[in-house]
Amino acid sequence: MAKFELKLPKMGESVAEATITSWLKEVGDTIEMDEPVLEIATDKVDSEVPSEVDGKLVEKLFEEDEVVKVGQTIAIIETEGEMDGEDEDEVEEETSAVAKEVEETVEAAKATASGEDTPGENYSDSSRFYSPLVRNIAKEEGISLGELEKIEGTGKEGRVTKNDILGYVKNRGSQPQESQASKAKSIDTKKLESGVSSQPEPVVSGEDEIIEMSRMGKMIAHHMVDSVQKSAHVQSFIEVDVTNIWNWRNKHKADFQKKEGEKLTFTPIFMEAVAKAIRDFPMINISVNEDATKVIKKKNINLGMAAALPDGNLIVPVIKNADRLNLVGMAKAVNDLANRARQNKLKPDDIQGGTYTVTNVGTFGSIMGTPIINQPQVGILALGAIRKMPAVIETPDGDFIGIRYKMILSHSYDHRVVNGALGGQFVQRVAQYLESFDKDREI
């Protein structure tokens, strides 16, 4: 029998590691080629890792909630076929090396965990290993190190898994009232001592439904709060007449789909205008380093496009080098990313490297919005709903009132590095490109 090492595959540029969320196969299970063996999660995308061979799972080198680096061996699969003595020695050496690498990874995680924990509770003070996911849940739920130490772990070598800590949180409310009150008082005292104001917990009645936030929902909440705390948000608004675009699309959408096999929506037209405006104002296409002392001017214009997932959450896939695409190419990119987002088939690389983001709040009927900046970017544009509006139309023969299709663009930008002039001029240039759209344009 031969042994095959299943490694964590490369998942895209800048993705170096992933957290194992669940094993779909157990030791002893038969596995077919391309059959999913486990599920992993990066910052925003959940993925499955399939087997590259037929065989039987004989060893799992990582437990759930543990972080694995790209290229590391995560499981051993036994396959049909014989190996000579030399091959067996080689497999034994490789397996030993993998075990050593796992041990080193765990030790490194212990050594660096102190940098990931909040000043209020340093979980690295324990001699027990806690995965980053377990530590994050503990921090979110206000679980002290003393409490965490008392949780009985069901993982490898008694480690606390995600299910262990979630089970503890669920049963936490059934503890004696005196203990809970004492614990709350202790937490409030710590908050007061650290200068953080105490916020009362919401009152839950017997008729209320408690819904656990999804993993992605928690991450989105964290990112939103982090962005508001980090960037000085300022907004500029401008009304745009898109009558020419409305009429042009209605005239050509059927032929476009017949010719290109793609739907022609308004989004690629708007994204094209945004890309052109960024080329005119490259200081919108920047990011700020962690300590806000340097500005990084981006060479490529990579437009993030907020898209809805089946569970209602939003994700931001990225159109790379958007300024190099013609309208047909932009339409294909927009449709591809939107479709794969709806089907939960986005890859980690699809959401990496964005330099500016566009979100369409008009999809939900909103005439405008004040979106939160997608860090580490410095700007985000919200597209409002297109509406029929009475408007003053200027002609050589005088002004008159007519019906026009109009929308509002809302530009949120980071006032630390983007002043009001730049923020206003940029969104004004987007409006100018949209209003000057050639109604005789050929596809």
Greater pLDDT, 134 or 76? 76
The confidence band for 139, taking pLDDT boundaries of 50, 70 and 90, is confident
pLDDT for position 174:
58
Q: Name the nearest CA neighbour of 44 among 166, 221, 288, 302.
A: 221
**Residues designated as active site:** 415
Higher per-residue pLDDT: 335 or 174: 335
* Domain coordinates in residue numbering, the chain: 2-112, 123-195, 232-435
User: 230 versus 157: which is more confidently predicted?
Assistant: 230
CATH 3.30.559.10, applies to 232-435? yes
Calpha distance 19→41 (Å, rounded): 5
Lowest mean pLDDT among 30-39, 196-205, 238-247, 298-307: 196-205
Q: What is the pLDDT of residue 204?
A: 74
The dihedral over CA atoms of 116, 120, 126, 128, expressed in degrees to the nearest 10, equals -50
Computed over every residue of the chain, the mean pLDDT equals 83
Q: Assess whether pLDDT exceeds 60 at residue 68.
A: yes
Q: Is the pLDDT of residue 294 over 80?
A: yes
Range with lowest mean pLDDT among 157-166, 185-194, 259-268: 185-194
Q: Has residue 46 got a pLDDT over 90? A: no
The better pLDDT of the pair 146, 379 is held by 379
Q: How close are the terminal C-alpha atoms of the chain, in Å? A: 60
Q: Find the mean pLDDT for residues 332-337.
A: 96
Identify the CATH assignment for 2-112 out of 3.40.430.10, 3.55.40.20, 2.40.50.100, 3.10.580.10: 2.40.50.100
pLDDT band at 339 (very low <50, low <70, confident <90, very high): very high
CATH hierarchy code of domain 123-195: 4.10.320.10
Per-residue pLDDT, 44: 57
